[in-house]
Chain A
Amino acid sequence: EAAVTQSPRNKVTVTGGNVTLSCRQTNSHNYMYWYRQDTGHGLRLIHYSYGAGNLQIGDVPDGYKATRTTQEDFFLLLELASPSQTSLYFCASTPNTGQLYFGEGSKLTVL
């Protein structure tokens, strides 16, 4: 069973604060994704990557940076957090295309 681990699981910050969400997968999957989930909008893709050093722009990238430092690690960065970024964030991975494996989610609240 593929393992995707996110941290932190819960984070509260203030407007303008810096936040880094971390994701690690231990199955040598090529693709990794960052999504946000909001009521009424479903899952929306922020950024994704198909390997170390690679970054692809998703559907809602504004206000977010991401970096894939290794095959295992994918980070989502909010450098000037805003209340509109309050959301539930999910990381996911897949070998190439096909079945997607999700982390447990990171709940972010921006006050």
Chain B
Amino acid sequence: GQQVQQSPASLVLQEGENAELQCNFSTSLNSMQWFYQRPGGSLVSLFYNPSGTKHSGRLTSTTVIKERRSSLHISSSQTTDSGTYLCALEDVGDNSKLIWGLGTSLVVNP
């Protein structure tokens, strides 16, 4: 089965609302990465987060390895946050490849 589960699959917000995106995994990991993908565009790395909490502007990533989960919190959402958010984990057994989730599609309405 899918080793990396992302939830929710899609989310619609009003501008200004907060969002919590989840990534749960069933395998041991070295690290977790979060990416943002513009509609129809490329992927941009948001966080490379082996464990613990990292902040970048309105974004916060928290990875708890023993609970096998990682979250991405978006505060005070803006329309420009719309897009797809993907998580990917670096497996402890093979750190040359990432295991990807299917993503959360976020729409932020004005």
How far is it, in angstroms, between the C-alpha of A58 and the C-alpha of B103 when the chains are bound?
A: 20
Interface size class of B (residues with CB under 8 A): 20 to 34
A-B contacts counted at CB < 8 A amount to 49
Q: Are A98 and B48 in contact (CB under 8 A)?
A: yes
> B102's closest neighbor in chain A, by CB?
A42
B60 to chain A, nearest CB (A): 18
Give the secondary structure class of A's interface: loop
Interface residue tally for chain A (C-beta within 8 Å)? 22
B100 an interface residue at 8 Å Cβ cutoff? yes
Q: Are A42 and B42 in contact (CB under 8 A)?
A: no
Q: Are B96 and A50 in contact (CB under 8 A)?
A: yes
B66 an interface residue at 8 Å Cβ cutoff? no
**Chain B interface: which of A14-22, A63-71, A75-83, A100-108?**
A100-108
Given A42-B103, A103-B42, A104-B41, are A97 and B86 also a contact pair (CB < 8 Å)?
Answer: no
How far is it, in angstroms, between the C-alpha of A46 and the C-alpha of B86 when the chains are bound?
A: 18
Residues in A lying within 8 Å of B, measured CB to CB: 31, 40-43, 45, 48, 50, 56, 58-59, 90, 92, 97-105
A97-B90, A98-B48 are known contacts; what are 19 more A-B pairs with Cβ within 8 Å?
Answer: A42-B100, A43-B86, A43-B88, A45-B98, A48-B96, A48-B97, A59-B97, A97-B30, A97-B96, A100-B88, A100-B98, A101-B45, A102-B42, A102-B43, A102-B44, A102-B45, A103-B42, A105-B41, A105-B42
